[in-house]
């Protein structure tokens, strides 16, 4: 199985920070992903490279669904498409199964789409590692800190030893 998966949901700064905090994630590429058919427009997303012996695809998808508005079809969904972008048919099938199994953890229907990965455009250098470089900026305190606190509360077993200390205190 391919050991990378792409996720879109909210701001890619937030998504990048969430996945960088996880043990077993080797690299997070921040940028914009395009898919096929009606989803060819680029949308903010990340590509997550991971070690499946340390963190499973199931756990990554569960964390993704809980750390963005995966049940909200709000007006910014073109810029922030809620998606799991797969790189193989096996990933596609597995991702759809996982989302179906996780539906019971949510009060509303999950709107996250499982889409084929087609293309990627990386973010400009000044926006990469945004949280790591700017943890005290107002955006980080308002939007990223709550996601990291949720990670600590719900998924602490997956956090790296050197997890971002600022919001967790």
Kindly list the catalytic residues. 11
The tokens describing 76, both together, are 């910014």
Sequence-ordered list of residues with C-beta below 8 angstroms from that of 116, at least 6 positions apart, any chain: 35, 36, 85, 86, 92
Distance CA 74, CA 138 (A): 23
Sequence-ordered list of residues with C-beta below 8 angstroms from that of 144, at least 6 positions apart, any chain: 13, 14, 17, 131, 135, 167
The residue to which tokens 């073109």 are assigned = 78
Q: Which helix H or strand E contains 43, and what residues bound it?
A: strand 43-50
Distance CA 29, CA 32 (A): 9
């Amino acid at each position: 199985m391919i050991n990378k998966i792409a996720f879109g949901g909210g701001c890619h700064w937030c998504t990048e920070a969430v996945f960088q905090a996880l043990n077993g994630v080797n690299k997070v590429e921040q940028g914009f992903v395009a898919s096929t058919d009606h989803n060819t427009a680029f949308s903010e997303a990340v590509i997550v490279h991971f070690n499946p012996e340390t963190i499973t695809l199931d756990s990554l998808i569960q964390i993704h669904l809980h750390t963005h508005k995966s049940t909200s079809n709000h007006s910014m969904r073109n810029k922030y498409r809620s998606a799991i972008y797969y790189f193989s048919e096996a990933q596609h099938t597995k991702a759809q199964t996982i989302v179906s199994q996780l539906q019971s953890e949510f009060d509303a229907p999950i709107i996250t789409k499982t889409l084929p990965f087609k293309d990627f455009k990386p973010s400009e250098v000044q926006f990469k590692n945004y949280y790591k470089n700017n943890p005290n900026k107002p955006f980080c305190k308002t939007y990223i800190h709550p996601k990291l606190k949720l990670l600590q509360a719900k998924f602490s077993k997956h956090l790296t030893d050197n997890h971002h200390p600022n919001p967790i205190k």
